[in-house]
A and B are shown apart, each in its own frame.
Chain A
Amino acid sequence: MTIVVAARHVAKDYTVGKFPERRTFSAVADVSLSIGSGETLGIVGESGCGKSTLSRLVLGLEAPTRGEIQIGSETVARDGQLIKSRPRGLVQAVMQDPGSSLNPKLRISTIVTEPLKVTEPGLGRAELLERAGAALDLVGLDRSSLSKFPHQFSGGQKQRVAIARALVSNPRLIVLDEAISSLDVSVAAQVMNLLKGLQDRLGISYLFISHQLAAVMYMSHHVSVMYMGRIVETGTAAEIGRRPRHPYTHALLGAALPADIVQARAAKAVGGEVPDPLAPPSGCTFHSRCPRAIERCATVVPAWIARSPTHGLLCDVD
């Protein structure tokens, strides 16, 4: 299978505060991933784990402080620099809130064709409208929507417009950052099914980022669990869902509340909260909350252990 996006040991540091209290922390500490064509990689984790920073790195909105990102066979960012000649339009995004990601003053036709002005600047008006119309067909919206404004649509329809805008430049990867989180249950199901259908038809890849574990499991072929800027476990959806090995994955799965009375009542909360990223715990960053922690966890940074070609984790305590 061809690799659509690959990240190698990427990190993103931010500096906060004013002199003399300036401090640097790593929102993404060290992440490697790859997504094959037609595949979905799901990222789960709590707020502050770095999943949105990771999505900004993959989108090329920010340069990684360290590491390298490849889209297809081209390197698009390396060691603090975005490469200027990088291809555009191959990676698109759908964000959480279509109410704020769609400009309320623009017609749908303008919104949906905007990416093409960058990726294919020579297109005439008729071609632009045809491309926008085709994108609306794909997401199940009527072509008459082109002359409307965002406020004339419901939340789910607005998110369909956002998906159409992402599709219009024929991207190979769409980053879906909490793309279904603000939608109602019944509408979220429609949008997830739409995304899956588009993937089957177009062979497009997704980076599906969400804090809703069940949604990630439903959407993804592979799932990576993030904690404090690192992927602590990765595997196929079945490996993560049925045979999780990392104590944090256990904690996340254990705290999820599915719509099932037996499972929801058996859920167990892991103690404590995510530590302050400005002062991450030494050794394994999860040791302060880990029920399995032993002495060396507080001092030794765990190494990546591959359990199968698809399954690996950042913990060697069994």
Chain B
Amino acid sequence: MAGDEILRVEDLHVTFSGRGGDVHAVNGVNLTVRRGEILGIVGESGSGKSVTSAAIMGVLPPAPACRVHGKVLFEGVDLLSSSERAMQSIRGRQISMILQDPLSALNPVMKTGDQIAEVFRIHHGLSGRSLMDAVINALKRVRFPSPERGAASWPHQLSGGMRQRVVGAIALGCEPDLLIADEATTALDSTIQLQYLDLIKERQRIDGLSVVVITHDFGVVARICDRVAVMYAGKVVEEAPVETLFSGPRHPYTKALLNAVPKLNTDLSRLEAIEGVPPRLWSPPVGCSFAPRCAGSVVECTTRPPVPVAIGDHHSVACWRVAS
């Protein structure tokens, strides 16, 4: 593993056992995150993006309800074969996570300052005055206005944007090496979302933080990501530097998805919607998962799953038609 890679996901498979049979949520995902890089994972519901992030954090349900295969190499160590004890010292200190809804991420009956203090007590053994200072510093780092007052408040007294800053203060408190932001700004208003994204970008620039941004929103990707992986039905279908992906998307799904988003200030009488619905994950199609919705599918698409091929600088696509 190259020294500039902080995270490498190799051939990750996650299968849930359900009443209707096995659900193949993640089907052979390969990803790398370089040090100090922001990787975006874009996809719709059921694409496996959040399950991938849960696998990295080691927070999936235990077997037999959920079976995980493959490797998640963080700084060269496979997290999937690490003990729960080892994971506990990694989570929150080296890898941390921000989820969509701050109201359910925070404890409603605990002051925000005490919740932030937990990470410093557990990971750094701080107490007393130094603990208080660490809490205030963590709030300052996420640009919380009047941090002293913020620390003394209850979650319900704060606005959505401020609650998410508290979650950010907890996640970034121990200065982790890798942050996973899973739809972290989806619930925020546009002006607040932008402030928050810029905050993450600032941590990347100043601390060299590596980030995995999981989102359904190409606007978020365009704003802060360096590289992007597009997921569909549990697989990465296209991966490229952000500039390349926006200027020359190659996978039919990526193209269709970009066309399905309304843009500002374009006179458009009709959006190009993608017809059909994503495949059922308990009985995925034999060939390419996107083939049933793809306008240009050929016979090969329905018989064999496509493998990712490199088509340019760091640009790879899993599509038979692009490959040929």
Contact = CB atoms under 8 A, between A and B. Distances in A.
A185 B268 contact: no
Contacts of A268: 194
A218 B257 contact: no
A263 B273 contact: no
A184 interface: yes
A264 B222 contact: yes
Interface in A123-162: 154-157
Contacts of A252: 190-191
B270 A196 contact: yes
A186 B189 contact: no
Contacts of A154: 277
Contacts of B161: 273
A268 B217 CA distance: 17
Nearest to A155: B45
A193 interface: yes
A3 interface: no
B160 interface: yes
B294 interface: no
| A contact patch SS | helix
B256 to A, nearest CB: 7
Contacts, number: 127
A148 B23 CA distance: 23
A46 B191 contact: yes
Interface in B264-318: 264-265, 268, 270-275, 277
Q: Which bucket holds chain B's interface residue count?
A: 35 or more
Interface string A105-119: 000000000000000
Contacts of B189: 46-47, 211, 274
B105 to A, nearest CB: 18
Interface string B174-191: 000000000000000111
Nearest to B198: A269
Given A189-B260, A211-B190, A257-B193, A218 B271 contact: yes
A192 B271 CA distance: 8
A211 B185 CA distance: 13
A189 B273 contact: yes
Contacts of A156: 277
Contacts of A260: 219, 222, 246, 263
A267 B224 CA distance: 11
B157 to A, nearest CB: 11
Given A46-B189, A189-B273, A193-B270, A214 B260 contact: no
B264 A269 contact: no
B219 A256 contact: yes
Interface in A254-295: 255-261, 263-265, 267-270, 273-274
Contacts of A256: 190, 219, 264
B265 A259 contact: no
B160, B193, B219, B270 — which one has the most chain A CB atoms within 10 A of its CB?
B219
A262 to B, nearest CB: 8
B108 to A, nearest CB: 19
Given A257-B217, A267-B194, A269-B194, 16 more contacts: A46-B190, A47-B160, A184-B45, A185-B216, A186-B257, A189-B262, A189-B274, A211-B189, A215-B262, A255-B191, A258-B263, A261-B222, A268-B194, A269-B198, A273-B161, A273-B162
5 contacts: A186-B44, A188-B260, A190-B275, A217-B264, A268-B194
Interface of B: 44-45, 159-162, 189-195, 198, 216-223, 242-243, 246-247, 256-258, 260-265, 268, 270-275, 277
Interface of A: 46-47, 154-157, 184-190, 192-193, 196, 211-215, 217-218, 241-242, 251-253, 255-261, 263-265, 267-270, 273-274
